[in-house]
Amino acid sequence: MKRISTVSEMQEISINNKKSGKRIGFVPTMGFLHEGHLQLVKKAREHNDIVVLSIFVNPLQFGPNEDFEAYPRDIERDEMLAKEAGVDYLFYPSVEEMYKEKRTSVIQVVERSNVLCGVNRVGHFDGVATVVIKLFNIVLPDKAYFGMKDAQQVAVLEGVIEDYNIPVAIERVPTVREEDGLAKSSRNVYLTNEERAEAPVLYQALHLGKQLLLEGKTTNFVKNSIKEMIEKETTGHIEYIEVLTYPDLKSKSRNDKELIIALAVKFSKARLIDNIVFTF
């Protein structure tokens, strides 16, 4: 595995690999790798000749009161895990390398971003779209692999790819979970022991919501049932519970076939998100 820190070198390598007829699979991350990331690498390894993993904590997607400086970082550990997982190139640019000068244009996401996490994170998905478009132009992947734990991010990026005719196929990869159902996340390390014991209730509540929807219960009934379960069995503060279409992220109507139940719960030092996407 080779570690690369400059845009020019990464682009040159990708161009040469493409000229040789090799397919590139890409896994963009913000580092502090866990099993969820490694599952993305595994999928990329199965279907491509070359696997590129990027590690870049993107300042554009953090709000003024969010945890950019505190976001966990451990490049030596990440490099070891990436190598063991079969990554060919680790792209690890600095902020200065990715954003050298004042930009002359901006990317603004106008759909799929004003619900769920986007309500209280104004500009977040603009930052996500900006960095991912840049990474696609640097790495030149045939396929990019994203975990469905961040289902809104996947929906937004699918829309961006369609809008701008970007020749990259997004592969949705199911959420990787602990044995008790908790979605794996870099932020889980911030949970106290008590909160960690409570956290699996989020996934259990999502399953309850899915069951109730399939039984014909109303959206409001489902959301209230999920809310009651989480408030009864955890100390977390609910930020949102939503039932929407997927990937459009619109209010559910009678004829919708694919739905998402999504939630966000804030514990003392960790904000957890989770979801279920299913055919209705």
Q: Which residues are catalytic?
A: 37
From CA 209, how far away is CA 261, in angstroms rounded?
A: 7
| 204 annotated as belonging to a binding site for a ligand | no
Q: Enter the tokens of residue 168.
A: 């990259």
| 33 annotated as belonging to a binding site for a ligand | yes
Ramachandran area for residue 181 (φ above 0: left; ψ -120 to 50: alpha; else beta): left
DSSP state for residue 175 in the 8-state scheme: P
| 185 annotated as belonging to a binding site for a ligand | yes
Burial (CB count within 10 angstroms: exposed 0-12, middle 13-18, buried 19+), residue 144: buried
| 207 annotated as belonging to a binding site for a ligand | no
| 31 annotated as belonging to a binding site for a ligand | yes
| 176 annotated as belonging to a binding site for a ligand | yes
| 162 annotated as belonging to a binding site for a ligand | no
Burial (CB count within 10 angstroms: exposed 0-12, middle 13-18, buried 19+), residue 108: exposed
From CA 131, how far away is CA 137, in angstroms rounded?
A: 10
| 153 annotated as belonging to a binding site for a ligand | yes
| 98 annotated as belonging to a binding site for a ligand | no
Q: Where are the alpha helices (DSSP H) in 215-257?
A: 219-233
| 30 annotated as belonging to a binding site for a ligand | yes
| 34 annotated as belonging to a binding site for a ligand | yes
Q: Enter the tokens of residue 175.
A: 């959420």
| 253 annotated as belonging to a binding site for a ligand | no
Query: What are the start-end ranges of the E strands in the chain?
Result: 2-4, 24-29, 50-55, 89-91, 143-147, 169-173, 237-245, 258-266, 271-279
Q: Which residues are annotated as a binding site for beta-alanine?
A: 61
Q: Which residues are annotated as a binding site for (R)-pantoate?
A: 61, 153
Q: Which residues are annotated as a binding site for ATP?
A: 30-37, 147-150, 176, 184-187
Q: Which residues are annotated as a binding site?
A: 30-37, 61, 147-150, 153, 176, 184-187
